[in-house]
Amino acid sequence: MATQFVIDGLTASIEDKEILKGINLEIKGGEVHAIMGPNGTGKSTLASALMGHPKYEVTGGSASLNGEDLLEMATDERARAGLFLAMQYPSEITGVTNSDFLRSAINARRGEGNEISLIKFIRQMEGKMKELDMNPEFAHRYLNEGFSGGEKKRNEILQMLLLDPKIVVLDEIDSGLDIDALKIVAAGVNSMRSEDRGFLIITHYQRLLNYIKPDFVHVMMQGRIVKSGGPELAERLENEGYDWVKEELGIVDETVGQA
Ligand SMILES: Nc1ncnc2c1ncn2[C@@H]1O[C@H](COP(=O)(O)OP(=O)(O)O)[C@@H](O)[C@H]1O
Ligand SMILES: [Mg+2]
């Protein structure tokens, strides 16, 4: 079945503050969508709500992947269904090595009885780490512990490469990356583009989109998608900032959920 990811009227709250105020978005296999927006407009909340982060309460609307209701699923089931999130701030987990974590994640995705062999896993992991220009020692370090910002981002992309997801959500994958690391990360993402995989790339800078060409660009403000267009929209935002969008729509404060 062709990949189809549909978000319809999604609303979500954190600590009883409503942050997402009705998100509508449809991503088909082969498409790259970018969500851009200033800080504090709800972009990460959307990513977390989709993945089922326990702090975020979905209060309405729906999200489905190939007709399956994601919101009914636990986070690991969402991953098994093919949803992948690279987090803006990946967690550090002491005591779990990166390679153990990756193998568990792959096996959770593949399902019981279909586990990857150790040899095959190591071969794949080492190959992908090489592609990402990662030092092999990162396989044996505790997950994200003491990793620099850029190393964490590369490690998120490593997970994406190994997990073969259907829908990839990347939250500010470009933050903290120098230009060389950005190019490596973008190449990793581009190598995964295919007709049966869709991407949602969250960023507040246009820079990343020079390397990962989006088909659709959406602007998020006040917990909503307030404007959508093609790649030219990202270029205009790069040149002119966000003020013209606010003026056009009569928005004074673009943030959401501030006291
Ligand atoms: N963990 C949290 N605890 C409390 N409030 C939060 C949390 N995460 C997000 N918020 C609220 O949601 C608003 C939007 O945040 P976020 O989704 O991170 O925006 P963005 O990713 O666009 O910068 C914040 O201004 C804040 O009020
Ligand atoms: Mg964010």
Ligand with smallest separation from the Cα of 173: 2
CA angle 252/40/24 to nearest 5° reads 85
**CATH annotation of 4-90+165-249:** 3.40.50.300
Residue 17: both structure tokens together: 């503050």
The ranges assigned to domains in the chain are: 4-90+165-249
| Spacing of C-alpha 238 from chain mean position | 21
Residue nearest to atom 25 of ligand 1 (CA): 40
pTM: 0.95
Identify whether the C-beta of residue 162 lies closer than 8 Å to the C-beta of residue 188. Answer: no
Residue spans of the chain under pLDDT 70: 1, 259
Identify whether the C-beta of residue 49 lies closer than 8 Å to the C-beta of residue 252. Answer: no
The pick from 19, 43, 51 for probing ligand 1's pocket by mutation, whose C-beta has the most ligand atoms within 8 angstroms, reads: 19
Position 204 scores a pLDDT of: 84
State the closest ligand 1 atom to the C-alpha of 204, by its place in the atom list counted from 1: 22
Residue nearest to atom 8 of ligand 1 (CA): 45
Ligand with smallest separation from the Cα of 46: 1
Residues facing residue 11 across a β-bridge: 21, 60
Q: Residue 143 C-alpha to ligand 2 middle, in angstroms? A: 21
> pLDDT digit string (tens) for 45-64?
999 999 999 999 999 999 99
Report the distance separating Cα 205 and Cα 90, nearest Å: 20
The pick from 10, 45, 200, 242 for probing ligand 1's pocket by mutation, whose C-beta has the most ligand atoms within 8 angstroms, reads: 45
Q: Residue 56 C-alpha to ligand 1 middle, in angstroms? A: 10
